[in-house]
């Protein structure tokens, strides 16, 4: 099954965090942003996972969320 990799950028008051999310081919950028916003709405803190590190951020400090990169991962 082919997958897509999304890089999500969180702009906070004093820093920028990036997260890698992997989903199926049928998922688009808007759905990823909606999923992230719903996750932040239901929890005061959010775990941001990427290849380098995992961070816990305060959801109230997030000012902007967007998908900055979308890539199809081919599986053989």
Q: What is the pLDDT of residues 10-60, one digit of tens each?
A: 999 999 999 999 999 999 999 999 999 999 999 999 999 888 889 999 999
Domain ranges of the chain: 3-73
Does the structure show a pLDDT above 90 at 70? Answer: yes
CATH number (1.10.3470, 3.40.50, 1.20.1510, 2.30.30) of 3-73 reads 2.30.30
Instruction: Return d(Cα 25, Cα 16) in angstroms, integer.
Output: 27
Q: Is 42 helix (H, G, I), strand (E, B) or coil?
A: helix
Instruction: Return d(Cα 18, Cα 66) in angstroms, integer.
Output: 10
Question: CB under 8 Å to 44, separation ≥6 — which residues?
Answer: 58, 59, 60
């Amino acid at each position: 099954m082919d997958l897509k990799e999304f890089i999500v950028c969180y702009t906070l008051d004093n820093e920028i965090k990036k997260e890698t999310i992997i989903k199926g081919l049928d998922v688009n950028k808007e759905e990823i942003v909606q999923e992230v916003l719903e996750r932040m709405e239901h929890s005061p803190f959010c775990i941001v996972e990427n290849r380098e590190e995992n961070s816990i951020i305060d959801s109230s400090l997030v000012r902007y969320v967007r998908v900055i990169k979308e890539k199809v991962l081919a599986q053989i």
